[in-house]
Chains A and B, each alone.
Chain A
């Protein structure tokens, strides 16, 4: 029989995970509206693959199957993978990424709660390193023809017909090709994929994520530290550099509403397992992700930097936590970084 405390607050891992999934729905709805139902197919693929991999690993490790399978954590990983991968990527890309995420990044480290790296971002980074072409084929806004997308996913039809580069990718390619005349305004102005502030259609998906994220904040599933620090730091860095030279550096609004910024801010950076946990550490961690994201987007070789930025900060998370321990009751004056 258990010891004190003898009664617990009604809360469970499952309800936390479920609410995260619910918070993703507005973004997914916008995704379907602008880019077709392919994303639902990808989510289904990733979910099935994740649950299968989870069940396999749990069975191999001799853990109670139903208890852990129903905790929802595998589904969260699966959905994040589906949402961060191009929705018209071939089916095996999503499935392979999901399997690697669940098996290598999660269960080899002991499963839920013990993985030092964000599994979804491990999947993204592995796949973009291995298949850079396939990972850069994004659907064009308005291309909602499901039959064509089905064919793209299951391999019958060449991708190019329905895909185009994202604004981030286009901008990076243009500025990197040492074309002296290329400027942010020039590249973005002529690009049909660009909408009001970010990618056409993508900005609405981002708004959906933002809405879901705000709901998560209101539900106290995530704390304000990470999203705020992430978005503020990204704004600040992008703002300063675009002030310095707005032909070479895109402005803050562009950075906020393109790529995976909003998904990252509320659903990826906020992962408590692989991130930091102290209040100060959370601020440092999220600001670090923002800085690295901006650096990789601007100077690096990959179109979006969030995955790498998150993984890089994951590496430093234990140390950040170690050196930002909040002072303990009664030790407020002398503690700080004394460890």
Chain B
């Protein structure tokens, strides 16, 4: 199957569209966060500009772009400018590797006097065979944006904030990596598409070597890995530097952490990075534990296609993909809301409590989860009697 101009073009546009979607979600999330926090604290929140204060987003964008530029005299200009860009890259690259919906089939058609063969486009930025390892690797680069910001601004608060942030990120990366081992044990794959595929069936598992099927439940990871899900979600909070783990920007102690010296659009880019991490975290939670873009055992691409008989394959698969993408987004939004909800509910940890939690509580629990999963899987899947 050769690759032609049409396919390259669609893939390119798709990738850029996914990135721009991520960038566009940020102001919306900021609005949700401000209105949501106001709702939680019995306030009104931004409600002056436009209906429901929605035009506040545009006003913020204008302000970000026109704010006076500031570069600390004593800093390192190149590192200072590079840091926000570097902070934006990991989340976007990781988000591109997560499947967002079922593939879109395009039938062969004639266009501009040429014959264009049938295509199958994945509803994701790009497909990497070793998806989980890729996402882990890319998100481990997130420490650099923070470190460069802290060093480049030559400010002691920024430096402290950067060191705290990176130490916290790497500490929780251990718990994160280890809680994913349970997921890999369950699905025996690094590939997101395979993981989602395994979860789309009705619940089925091996009980002492015999196959058991429960048709009324979906085969979601959360039923097998509840502890892993909790650990992964908590570690993701720390990875995204969100409350209750937002020590790097603890206002009382460190002014604004590593972005003390940043303003205007450069600050906004750190924001995009942080919210991008939230988005990736939610998408990963959904993909690992909540069935990805599938909704329920009976709602598969095939069944959706049955509702729309009389349409071409292109139209049905596109419709299916859009419906399932809506399902995926609904699940992701739920997790994003939990992120915001937790931020306005829990107080901040102290730094020693944070490190204790990471190293001495979550790491042992993640180890326990791995061993438990391995033992249970061994007992259940072992071909007894065979």
- Answer yes or no: are A and B bound together in one complex: no
